[in-house]
Chains A and B, each alone.
Chain A
Amino acid sequence: MRIHRTPLWLLALTAAALAQSEFKDLESRTSEFTLANGQKFIVVERHNAPVATFMTYADVGAAQEVKGITGLAHLFEHMAFRGTTTIGTKDWAKEKVLLEKVEKAYYALRDEKRKGAKADAGRLKELEQAFKDVQEEAAKLTYKEEFGEIIERAGGRDLNAGTGEDMTVYFFSLPSNQAELWFFLESERFRDPVFRDFYKERDVVMEERRLGESQPMGRLMEEFQGVAYKAHPYGEGVIGHMSDLQNLTTADGQAFFRKYYVPSNLTTVVVGDVNPRRIRELAEVYFGRLPSVPRPEPLRTIEPPQQGEKRVALRLQSQRMLLMGYHKPDVNHPDDAVYDAIGSLLSQGRSSRLYRSLVRDKKVATQAGGFPGYPGVKYPGMFVFLGLTAPGRTNEDVEKALDAEIERLKNEPVSAEELDGVKRRARAGLLRQLDSNFSLGIQMARYQALTGDWRNLFRQLDKINAVTPQDIQRVAKATFTWNNKTVGTIDPVETAAK
């Protein structure tokens, strides 16, 4: 249940005046409130059909992990589907006792394993069996997938969640008359979660990791991130290292939950056929129960400026591809919209520069694009370029062609016409996202949590509208420098990298 963060939405507008009228209606259907405990709610009325999408955006992601617990933000997301003291159990009083025994058995086994070569083989076997047995006993008392079952019975749709570097987001949709069901379930899981089947779910996440390892691009991205960052947690992928996954404990999960799943760290968005007054009432009743706890300390580490070019070259049973990135500022930097404009100029549509140059004319790649905001935007992320190298061409050919386009950005002012296209595409692109409860909800939640105001979703268009050709040149010159460059490549294992 890990969704990959798409690069920050490329949003723009030709005329600010137009933006006002187009989005005013939506703004007028949007209301917001904050509970006494600090939890933020945004409610958007859309009465096209009697359904609603509910979304909890937790301002915590893999970037909040430290060495040793990588993968925990995501594993917690999985645990949030395992229920509470009243959901997912057949008999909580009995199950509670068994879950404590599971913990004891786990630690006994772990301690013996830690002795390494000195571990007693017979004892190890005994402890493994004991751990297995007590888990099975506890499992008899779990009501498997009750959480999902309740939602299915209600006619719910799209139950899922996603973890990124910046956030963890939980969502599903319901027929709108059952809004209270969402309030009940969602408040329960963040008030009273039970870490049952923790070690089984850890196995599931390890399978999810293996799934990524089976994909050449997944392997390239993990290596690329690791090379590009030396200090900031963006260097670690969301999925976590296998050795960390193998050692995560329920205690790690509890501590993470207590620290980050506090109401003031949660933004909730409801979009659909709902009455905002009723939503507020339900929010007070259900989420008002969550205790008021101070927000967690912000992340301290800032990635220092890169001192020189970095490279990682993989050889896999795969065709060639290339990932190239440059560090850039975070989403709240005044130049954020300039990066969005550059991304659009380079990759949106068939007339975009990279498609035209690399795919259509030079034929060095079969796909090419450049995107701001990898692996996240909350902290300084990267502007990344991706090229799928065409048959018979080398990664070097792709890199040279990308370099040429980057130099063009720096040296030639973009024409007024081309920039106008960027702005029109941004406006149309935003409009296309407004007719779905889900995409509207996730956008509003992101802008609220990342920038402090959901209205910045629309203001971003004004900012893109204000971007000048000089801005693009200035930002390109400052960002795309030799010492700020990281390149990751895949070459087929049979042949030497060129």
Chain B
Amino acid sequence: MRTGKLLSVAVISLGLVLAQPPVPKPAARKPAPAKSYKDLKYPPLSQIQVPEPVRFELANGMVVYLVEDHETPMISVSAMIRAGSRWEPAGKTGLASITGSVMRTGGTASRPGDKLDEELDRLGASVETGIGQDSGRAQVSVLREDIDRGLAILADILQNPAFPQDKIDLAKIQQRDSIARRNDNPNAIAGREFNRIIMGKDAPYGRITEYDTINSIAREDLIAFHRQYFQPESVILGAWGDFSTAEMRARIEKTFASWKRGGRPRPSVPTVDPGAKDRAGIYFIKKDDTPQCWVMMGFLGGMRNDPDFYALSVMNQILGGGFASRLFSNVRSAQGLAYTVGSQWGAGWDRPGTFMALGSTKTETTVKILTSIRHEISSMAEAGATADELTRAKDGILKGFAFEFDSTGKIVQRLVTYDYYGYPRDYLQQYRNNIEKVTQADVARVAKQYLKTDQLAILVVGKEQGMDRPLSELGKVTNIDITIPPPKQAALGEATPESATKAKALLRRAKQAMGGALIDQIKDLTVTADMKLTLPQGEFAIKMEVTNNVMGKSVSTMQTPMGEVTQGYDGQIAWAKTPQGVREAPASQLGEVQGTFFRDTFSLLRNIDNPAYTVQALGPAEIEGKKAEGVAISDTARKLQVKLWIDSATGLPLKKAYTAAFMGAPGELEEISSDYRDVSGLQIAHTAILNRDGKKLGQTTITGFKLNPGVPDSAYQKPN
């Protein structure tokens, strides 16, 4: 065998290498090293052999590109599908992404996702789907011998995804995790928020997932999204690898033949927010745990089919496109201000992109880098590029053109992309020709026309303290709040009899766990506790004593920094006594007081069968790492509602959630209970954490507890 022989020669020559240089023999005249790279003379470049992909359309409208590549025994498939998050409803941001992920993880009726995982991993193969902003993708990579299985799996998941609920839930956990982590890295914040500044934070190209948008997505939404966008005429598929084109064509035709045309119209491309043209300003996002500030500046960019695109690409290459660019050499190399610095002329295929220049630097040189980057943009706008810079940038693109053909995958996927966005098949050649035509005057013209420093949106992410100069010296600063909005209380569906039965069983279990029949014997009880509150004004430690009775009467005394405050409710009148005197609560506040009594856990457990209450099960959840089941209890007449999560292991309540006013401010409140201890036969949570709108507000620790102390009625009445 030829290969074996050559190998043995190589091995032998290795052994001889020190004794005498083996093949190849040095040239007769010993060549000398060049003195300068300028003296080097090169032979002509070999002809670029471009494999010509075969394009055909199936009867059902699916477009296919094929190219053979026999270098390794692998076959790859990459398809673009006309589906993207830009077509999902704004209130369900995240739907496209979840659909794309669950198509694969959930599998199909005949190929459940978990089975698929195993099958593919055992083959060393992969089939993946995903939906991005502008397009959907499906990819297959298999060893040659597994191509039939790979294609069959692809065809099945594109047509018949099962969307099982457990995989939807899993995808939602991933989505919520991404939301929770999205402010952990300053560069991620800068990139995301800069795009939102330009594109509009709620517009199709700017909006982001939120807990509420994820929570609002149901299985039916995935089914509908898939049904709307996945049809053969929306798919452009490219395949390359170790196959014969004729055989591969037959395989694809056979595998996808049964997929019927959907006939749904091609979705129109959502337009960019009209305001995107006018975002000039200075924006600041506070991130106070980073030693660096990120600075991004730019404005709405253009499109790839714009005649100016070529001159703008060359201009950007000179401004911030590589090692030799102005931003790199002047901001990084000459000033040592940044590791990351550069610019890009963002041109979209079917809608405008974003022009952006960026750099990250230590807090102390934030304004310095900002002005340096802005200076490079404005001097490009004023004077354009030198002839030498123009040559360099054009040579870089044109002489390196061979790299556009160094991988078959690159060649095929490029054609699929052109086809998807309606660009001509020879777009690359057109691009090349147009780059060749760019003149120094063109660069000067587009720089002047597009790079308007007074139109820059400038975003800084970092510490407020310690900058070389306050940002406000540069102009009016708009602060952007990136606090992650907590989820709103999910609207409950209609309570079904099954869910009511389940909820009652859960509440009975909780009642049993907390004290059983003893709970019905409670007449009144007094709790003393230490409360720590974290308020915008500071931290407060409050000692309190609260007595409730079974009739819904209540009195509490608090030692606050402002003095002693007593609040009471005798069933009709709510009152408060402060060092300033006694005050009766207006009738409008009585609802809040009634809510307090309604939400009391023992009260809830005494009223499981109260006909005025509706109960329903909310399903499993995880509370503080524990498995739990949720229950909602509503008193529709009084418009009161509370949700309770009960520990699946112990039956004890772990969390309560409700809407209420706390210290005058309404919000979504949560009480998280822990440290249950037996007191007089009742299980009492000795620690409760109070959260408002997802942020910790305080913590209560129980210091004393009296069951049936027999507090007289007079104690609940307004003092004279």
In the complex with contacts A49-B406, A152-B322, A366-B186 CB distance below 8 A: no
Interface residues of B in 385-424 (CB under 8 A from A): 391-393, 395-403, 405-409
Query: Which chain A positions have C-beta within 8 A of B105?
Result: 350
Chain B proximity of A255: nearest CB distance (Å)? 23
Task: Decide if A363 touches B40 in the complex (CB within 8 Å).
Answer: no
- Of B170-178, B259-267, B708-716, the segment with at least 4 beta carbons within 8 Å of chain A is B170-178
- Of B30-38, B82-90, B471-479, B508-516, the segment with at least 4 beta carbons within 8 Å of chain A is B30-38
Task: Decide if A285 touches B185 in the complex (CB within 8 Å).
Answer: no
Whether B580 is near chain A, meaning CB under 8 Å from some CB there, is no
Task: Decide if A32 touches B323 in the complex (CB within 8 Å).
Answer: no
Whether A352 is near chain B, meaning CB under 8 Å from some CB there, is yes
Chain A proximity of B290: nearest CB distance (Å)? 4
In the complex with contacts A214-B186, A392-B623, A202-B336 CB distance below 8 A: yes
Task: Decide if B118 touches A48 in the complex (CB within 8 Å).
Answer: no
Interface residues of B in 618-643 (CB under 8 A from A): 622-625
Interface residues of B in 1-26 (CB under 8 A from A): 1-4, 6-7, 10, 13-14, 17-18, 21-24, 26
Whether A482 is near chain B, meaning CB under 8 Å from some CB there, is no
Query: Which chain A positions have C-beta within 8 A of B31?
Result: 281, 285
Task: Decide if A432 touches B141 in the complex (CB within 8 Å).
Answer: yes
Query: Which chain A positions have C-beta within 8 A of B323?
Result: 81, 145, 147-149, 151-152, 159
Whether B143 is near chain A, meaning CB under 8 Å from some CB there, is yes
Whether A391 is near chain B, meaning CB under 8 Å from some CB there, is yes
Chain B proximity of A205: nearest CB distance (Å)? 7
Chain B proximity of A176: nearest CB distance (Å)? 7
Task: Decide if A363 touches B170 in the complex (CB within 8 Å).
Answer: yes
Task: Decide if B117 touches A349 in the complex (CB within 8 Å).
Answer: yes
Task: Decide if A350 touches B177 in the complex (CB within 8 Å).
Answer: no
Task: Decide if B185 touches A214 in the complex (CB within 8 Å).
Answer: yes
Give Cα distance in the complex from A461 to B652, angstroms.
54
Whether A428 is near chain B, meaning CB under 8 Å from some CB there, is yes
- Of A59-67, A246-254, A315-323, A465-473, the segment with at least 4 beta carbons within 8 Å of chain B is A315-323
Whether B486 is near chain A, meaning CB under 8 Å from some CB there, is no
Give Cα distance in the complex from A352 to B124, angstroms.
12
Mark A62-85 against chain B: 1 for CB-CB distance below 8 A, else 0. 000000000000000000010000
Give Cα distance in the complex from A289 to B30, angstroms.
13
Give Cα distance in the complex from A273 to B292, angstroms.
43
Whether B581 is near chain A, meaning CB under 8 Å from some CB there, is no
Query: Which chain A positions have C-beta within 8 A of B42?
Result: 177-178, 180-181
Whether A329 is near chain B, meaning CB under 8 Å from some CB there, is no
Whether A456 is near chain B, meaning CB under 8 Å from some CB there, is no
- Of B67-75, B250-258, B274-282, the segment with at least 4 beta carbons within 8 Å of chain A is B67-75
Interface residues of A in 110-144 (CB under 8 A from B): 139, 144
Task: Decide if B336 touches A319 in the complex (CB within 8 Å).
Answer: no
Interface residues of B in 55-82 (CB under 8 A from A): 69, 71-74
**Residue contacts A-B, CB under 8 angstroms, 13 given:** A148-B323, A157-B403, A184-B33, A199-B336, A204-B338, A204-B339, A210-B360, A276-B24, A285-B31, A349-B120, A363-B173, A421-B123, A435-B408
Q: Please give the residue numbers on chain B whose beta carbons come within 8 Å of chain A beta carbons, in ascending order.
A: 1-4, 6-7, 10, 13-14, 17-18, 21-24, 26-27, 30-37, 40, 42-49, 69, 71-74, 105, 114, 117-118, 120-126, 141, 143, 170, 173-174, 176-177, 180-181, 183-187, 287, 289-292, 322-324, 328-330, 332-340, 360-362, 391-393, 395-403, 405-409, 622-625, 696
Q: Please give the residue numbers on chain A whose beta carbons come within 8 Å of chain B beta carbons, in ascending order.
A: 22, 24-25, 27-28, 30-34, 36, 46, 48-51, 81, 86-87, 139, 144-145, 147-157, 159, 173, 175-178, 180-181, 184-185, 187, 197, 199-208, 210-211, 213-216, 273, 276-277, 280-281, 284-286, 289, 316-319, 348-352, 356, 359-360, 363, 366, 388, 390-394, 396-397, 417, 420-421, 424-429, 431-432, 434-437, 493-495, 498
